[in-house]
Structure 1
Amino acid sequence: MKLLLIPDKFKGSLTSVEVSKAFIAGVKKSGIPFSSHYIKASDGGDGFMNAVAHYKACISVQVISENPLGRPIQSYYLYNQESNSAYIELANASGMELLKPEERNPMLTSTFGTGLQIKDAIEKGVKNIYIGLGGSATNDGGIGIAQALGYSFLDKSGNRLLATGASLSKINSIDDTDVFEGLKQIRFFAVNDVNNPLLGKDGAAHIYAGQKGATKEMIKELDLGLRNLDVVIFDKYSFLYAELPGSGAAGGVAYGLKSFLGASYCNGIDFILELSGVNDLLTKEKFDFLITGEGRIDEQTLHGKLIQGVLALGVRKNIPVIAICGKLDIEKKELKKRGIYDVFEIQDSTKSLDYNMQHAADLLTAKTTEYFGLLLK
């Protein structure tokens, strides 16, 4: 049996490499003869730069930036000299993990720090900039990034607003007279990990802001604020990008990158899989199963996350996909209806969340041994 492993991390407990090692240990214990190949992947969210560095020769560029609440931090991005490209991970300067749980509030946070990284790359002469989205602490529609590059957002009285979620509903006009020189000569790519639109029940605020510390009232206000931003941008530039799949990524950052920087959208998993050379691999070798997984599989998993990308790859290449997760929050029959061959969760339901996260590797190995052991019977 030949297995191709393309798992995501189990956030807070296992890296994708650790997931693969625990899985392989489990298959070995089952006694089933097998060989395996591991692909390091990312959907454009957390781990984007690690995945890029795994496949491309890059140097790390250090930058003094700001965290989502404006505190100075040491950050970095990757630079590839051959293609004169920078690879920036939104979470590196604007990520939720940079804040304590009690500090998380998308009304107050900003992507300005990521904008400083982009500005640094442009000043160094970079011509292609890829921004991996996901893991953000923000819901600012990308106005923080835009502000760092010279855009100003003004209220009805002409006062300059802070580039935060709370300011979205107050924006009356945009001043672009001081936009960073040479911006139009740069090619920008928003590497998305989701396909949600900007607005409404499936949009940036309603789907993601609650995870970032927003109350129900804040979510409503943030959605209204993004609607206002969309109106102001249409009045200024005649752009209509809110309904594009992916515009809701990272609290609307994808929408902002497209509106202010002319960015193209890239599907994150497709982007990384292309870098990995997996299509060439699958042309040369045949695999019995594709193995993927993440900490929690739910409805959102099927909206542009890594597992959806692996599933699409499996369908194209006619390889059944087995998914592993810490917790399954969607009916198994629903996943099978979408094309997944099988799925199993590793959690011990009699134990606490902390226990399951701390013992995730052992649980994954044990469940894998049990699963593949049944194939021998």
Structure 2
Amino acid sequence: MNIVIAPDSFKGSISAEGFCNIVEKTILELDKDATVHKVPLADGGEGTVEALTYNTGGKIKEATVTGPSGKTVVAQYGILGNESTAVIEMASASGLPLVPQAERNPLITTTYGTGELIKTVIAEGCQEIILGIGGSATNDGGAGMLQALGFNLLDDQGEDIPWGAKGIAKLASIKKDQVAKEVTAIKIIVACDVNNPLCGPNGASFVYGPQKGAKHDEVIWMDQALRHYADIIQTDLGLMIADTPGAGAAGGLGAGLMAFLGAELRPGFDIIQAHSGLEEILRNEKVDLVITGEGEMNHQTINGKLPAGVSALAKKYGVPCIAFVGNIGDGAEMVYDCGLTSIFSIVPGPRTLDQAMANADSYLYETAQRVLKLWMIGKDELK
């Protein structure tokens, strides 16, 4: 029996690596001679650093940086096994969970700490950065990040603009003569699964501003601030960024990364699976089953989410693929078209969210045991 385990994390309860360990334990209890390939994955959000360092034999490190509200936070980053590529989750430095709900205010939150993390890995000699930008607390267009990297973003008095959306509304000019050559030379690949433009009804402010604490009138104001930001970028850098797909990701961080640092945006799953060796395993091994999973599978899963990508790869190589999830949401059946064979919720019955998350490890173990026992019987009968 040869099984691949390639899940996303269950946010807040089971890491992707933890999922792999639990399901591996179940498999080996049922068949001690089974071959198990553990490939913990992520799609650019939570778990990206862990997944890439695990799959490449890299190292996870920490750095003290400026959090989104200006307080210092300890952020994680990874150095991959090749020692020349770093992986950063911007949420570790500038993410929404770092701001208490009552204090969330994208008018003043900053990406400065993300810039500090980039400086840290440049100082380590890295030549490439994989940057996951999900889960931001900010709406500053990446201005704070750019200030940390040495760009001068100035108001009409020639003074540095303040942090947050309030700052970019005051932007009058951009100076980059003090930016170190190492900053502009490093290659940045952004793991991004959204195509939102910077401004407008589908832009950063209107779509994501409310979840970051912005009221309706503030959303309108922030959209205008980002449009002004785009106008200054066009005037000073000669780049039209406002309508570029992905520019609105992470409160406009996508725009800042592309316009100032020449970053390339790619689907998160594509980046991470390419470093994981998952396709090589499916191509070269006689795999009997692929197991994937995520916290909730629903209609959004087909839009570049990790289980859809894993299912498509399994289908490409003619391998059945099943998913263990916390919740089966509306439209989850659409993932069958990607190649998924079946979906199983690990929650055994009515539970509160807190109960489900607190017991997720045992629920996953018990569900995997029941499903794999049945799968093994069916497999044996087909011989």
TM over 0.5: yes
* Corresponding residue for residue 286 of structure 2: 286
* Cα distance in 2 for residues equivalent to 1:285 and 1:277: 12
Larger mean CA deviation between 21-30 and 363-372 belongs to: 21-30
Contact 1:67 1:94 survives alignment (8 Å): yes
Q: Does 1:325 align with 2:325?
A: yes
What letter is aligned with 1:47?
A: G
Q: CA RMSD in A?
A: 3.2
Larger mean CA deviation between 183-192 and 275-284 belongs to: 183-192
* Corresponding residue for residue 37 of structure 2: 37
Within-5 A mapping of 1:153-164: 153-155=153-155, 160-164=160-164
* Cα distance in 1 for residues equivalent to 2:323 and 2:279: 20
Q: CA deviation at 1:177?
A: 4.0
Q: Secondary structure at the match of 1:190?
A: strand
Q: Provide, for residues 231-286 of structure 1, a one-character-per-residue CA deviation record: whole Å limited to 9, x for no partner.
A: 33223323234444443332232221111111122433222222222232222213
* Corresponding residue for residue 253 of structure 2: 253
* Cα distance in 1 for residues equivalent to 2:347 and 2:144: 39
* Cα distance in 1 for residues equivalent to 2:62 and 2:342: 43
What letter is aligned with 2:186?
A: R
Contact 1:190 1:254 survives alignment (8 Å): no
Q: Provide, for residues 189-248 of structure 1, a one-character-per-residue CA deviation record: whole Å limited to 9, x for no partner.
A: 233141322344554344434443334444444344333322332233232344444433
In structure 2, stretches of 5+ residues that fail to align are 379-383
Q: Secondary structure at the match of 1:367?
A: helix
* Corresponding residue for residue 133 of structure 2: 133
Q: CA deviation at 1:119?
A: 2.4
* Cα distance in 1 for residues equivalent to 2:344 and 2:151: 48
Q: CA deviation at 1:112?
A: 0.2
Say if 1:327 and 1:275 are closer, same or farther in 2 by CA, change over 3 A.
same
* Corresponding residue for residue 267 of structure 2: 267
Q: CA deviation at 1:115?
A: 0.8
* Corresponding residue for residue 71 of structure 1: 71
Q: Secondary structure at the match of 1:191?
A: strand
Say if 1:17 and 1:85 are closer, same or farther in 2 by CA, change over 3 A.
closer
Bigger RCO of structures 1 and 2 (CA < 8 A, at least 6 apart): 1
Contact 2:15 2:47 survives alignment (8 Å): no
Larger mean CA deviation between 154-163 and 233-242 belongs to: 154-163
* Corresponding residue for residue 195 of structure 1: 194
* Cα distance in 2 for residues equivalent to 1:215 and 1:188: 36
Larger mean CA deviation between 134-143 and 33-42 belongs to: 33-42
Larger mean CA deviation between 260-269 and 354-363 belongs to: 260-269
Within-5 A mapping of 1:51-66: 51-56=51-56, 58=58, 63-66=63-66
* Cα distance in 2 for residues equivalent to 1:301 and 1:247: 22
Contact 2:132 2:190 survives alignment (8 Å): yes
Q: Provide, for residues 84-111 of structure 1, a one-character-per-residue CA deviation record: whole Å limited to 9, x for no partner.
A: 3433331221122323232333222111
Q: Does 1:146 align with 2:142?
A: no
Larger mean CA deviation between 205-214 and 31-40 belongs to: 31-40
* Cα distance in 2 for residues equivalent to 1:187 and 1:301: 32
Larger mean CA deviation between 153-162 and 44-53 belongs to: 153-162
Identity fraction in percent: 33
Contact 1:89 1:133 survives alignment (8 Å): yes
Q: Secondary structure at the match of 1:308?
A: helix
* Cα distance in 2 for residues equivalent to 1:136 and 1:290: 32
Contact 2:302 2:334 survives alignment (8 Å): no
Q: Secondary structure at the match of 1:109?
A: coil
TM-score (norm 1): 0.85
Larger mean CA deviation between 280-289 and 27-36 belongs to: 27-36
* Cα distance in 1 for residues equivalent to 2:324 and 2:207: 23
What letter is aligned with 2:190?
A: V
Larger mean CA deviation between 288-297 and 201-210 belongs to: 201-210
Q: Secondary structure at the match of 2:20?
A: helix
Larger mean CA deviation between 131-140 and 76-85 belongs to: 76-85
TM-score (norm 2): 0.84
In structure 1, stretches of 5+ residues that fail to align are none
Q: CA deviation at 1:138?
A: 1.9
* Cα distance in 2 for residues equivalent to 1:59 and 1:31: 32
Contact 1:26 1:368 survives alignment (8 Å): yes
* Corresponding residue for residue 298 of structure 2: 298
Q: Provide, for residues 6-46 of structure 1, a one-character-per-residue CA deviation record: whole Å limited to 9, x for no partner.
A: 11111111111222334345667889996532102222222
Contact 1:195 1:247 survives alignment (8 Å): no
Say if 1:262 and 1:286 are closer, same or farther in 2 by CA, change over 3 A.
same
* Cα distance in 1 for residues equivalent to 2:354 and 2:155: 46
Q: CA deviation at 1:60?
A: 5.6
Contact 1:140 1:253 survives alignment (8 Å): yes
Q: Secondary structure at the match of 1:250?
A: helix
What letter is aligned with 2:4?
A: L
Say if 1:22 and 1:313 are closer, same or farther in 2 by CA, change over 3 A.
same
